[in-house]
Amino acid sequence: MSDLRIPDLEGKTYLVTGGSIGIGAAVARALGAQGAAVAVHYHENKARAEAVASDIQKSGGKAFLVGGDISQGGGATAVVEAAAWHFGRLDGLINNAGGLVRRRPLVEGDDAFDATVFELNAHSVVRASRAALPWLKKQGGVIINTTSQAARNGGGSGATLYAASKGFVSTFTRGLAKEVVKDRIRVNAVAPGLIATAFHENNTPPEVFKVQEAAIPMGRAGTAEECAGAYLFLASDALSGYITGQVIEVNGGGLMP
């Protein structure tokens, strides 16, 4: 992707939440390689965020690190404001931060666990988007949300609440797209399928992961880098200027809705 050039991304400013690892890191690096200024958000992985920022700068982009727990109260708002004020503008918000928390059957959960899952995966997207809108309205821009294949198929074992929270993100994407289209803001989402990242390293037993891989028509899991192109496409008005309210599935054929 280092040879790919999308001219209208150069000089633009983006915030990538959860930008220190996995898909977020791949997207942040890909935007930086296009000459964009990228605010790399992290929560606990500052060292990895620093490595991402270094790669962005080496490839010709600009980088700014912004830490914070976006699942807590005003955390998402604070992260957005810090990024926007640092660069003086915001052209795009990539709501990527999220996670399974842990696999737990519904009957074993409680209100506190339920709230943790939804605060991280759903409410943070609402809060970050709300904070970003005044900045995006100044010149138009994009919001790109990371949802999941789980939003359509209900997720794997012990992931019912995670899947439901991602279903919220997919629906929120469509609703917000209608609400802000008049402000020249496009809102779309990317739905990764089985991707070889820390998400599965931490939550999916290797033998289960192999079974899931075998069910994919392409015969393997995807990589974070293979997801990044969908985000670049949706960020570019030149490539996707007439696309809003859509969810792009990136899953190797594992789900064909």
Q: What is the pLDDT of residues 140-172, one digit of tens each?
A: 999 999 999 999 999 988 899 999 999 999 999
Rounded to 10°, the helix 75-87/124-136 angle is 30
Q: Any idea how long the chain is?
A: 257
Task: Choose, from 14, 42, 162, 231, the residue flagged as catalytic.
Answer: 162
Does residue 140 sit within a domain?
yes
Domain tally, the chain? 1
Tell me what the pLDDT averaged over the chain comes to: 95
Residue 15 lies in domain: 7-250
The answer, yes or no, to whether residue 199 has pLDDT greater than 80, is no
pLDDT, tens only, 200-254: 777 788 888 899 899 999 999 999 999 999 999 999 999 999 999 999 999 999 9
Q: In what side-by-side order are the strands of the sheet with 37-42? A: 62-67, 37-42, 13-16, 92-95, 141-146, 185-192, 247-250
pTM for the complete prediction?
0.96
Give me the pLDDT at residue 1, please: 63
Does residue 1 sit within a domain?
no
pLDDT, tens only, 84-136: 999 999 999 999 999 999 889 999 989 999 999 999 999 999 999 999 999 99
Beta strand ranges found along 120-231 (DSSP E): 141-146, 185-192
The answer, yes or no, to whether residue 79 has pLDDT greater than 80, is yes
Task: Look up 231 and say whether it is catalytic.
Answer: no
Does residue 42 sit within a domain?
yes
Give me the pLDDT at residue 2, please: 64
Does residue 257 sit within a domain?
no
